[in-house]
Amino acid sequence: MQALVIDDSRAMRSMIGKIMRQLGFDVVEAADGREALAHLQQGQRPGIALVDWNMPEMNGLEFVKVVRLDASYNDLPLMMVTTENEMSQVVVALTAGANEYLMKPFTKEMLIEKLDILGIEHR
């Protein structure tokens, strides 16, 4: 299964990507929401997208909203992975269409717990 990791920080993409590879995912990275959308428009079908909130070009919340406008992506699990930790922000993201919310910093175990909640199989 493919995981789309969207974050403007190369270090964060690398860290999340490493964990996801350890869990058996093929990882594709995007530096912002616009690049991630281009990936989806090329016909790539990830099993999950892990989305940072604060990015240039198109932020994570905008990405979630655009993806949710396309009914063909209704079943694509979207997990916000962000430093935004106020409950109001969590509500905004979930209302916009995110399926889960993981706050940075996090551990591999915390990420696994969120994948389990979403019913996404992993090693």
Q: Is residue 104 part of a domain?
A: yes
**Total domain count, the chain:** 1
Q: Which 8-state DSSP code applies to residue 53? A: S
Q: Which residues contact 4 (CB under 8 A, 6 or more apart)?
A: 28, 29, 30, 36, 39, 40, 44, 46, 48, 49, 50
Q: Is residue 110 part of a domain?
A: yes
Q: Is residue 123 part of a domain?
A: no
Q: How confident is the model at residue 86 (pLDDT cuts 50, 70, 90)?
A: confident
Q: Is residue 112 part of a domain?
A: yes
Q: Is residue 73 part of a domain?
A: yes
Q: Is residue 25 part of a domain?
A: yes
Domain coverage including residue 49? 2-118
> What pLDDT, on the 0 to 100 scale, is given for residue 87?
87
pLDDT for 44-72, tens place per residue?
Answer: 899 999 999 999 999 999 999 999 999 99
Element (H, E) at 48: strand 48-51
pLDDT at 75 over 90: yes
CATH number of the domain at 95, please: 3.40.50.2300
pLDDT for 6-52, tens place per residue?
Answer: 999 999 999 999 999 999 999 999 999 999 999 999 988 999 999 99
Q: How confident is the model at residue 3 (pLDDT cuts 50, 70, 90)?
A: very high
Q: How far is Cα 86 from Cα 56, in angstroms, rounded to an integer?
A: 21
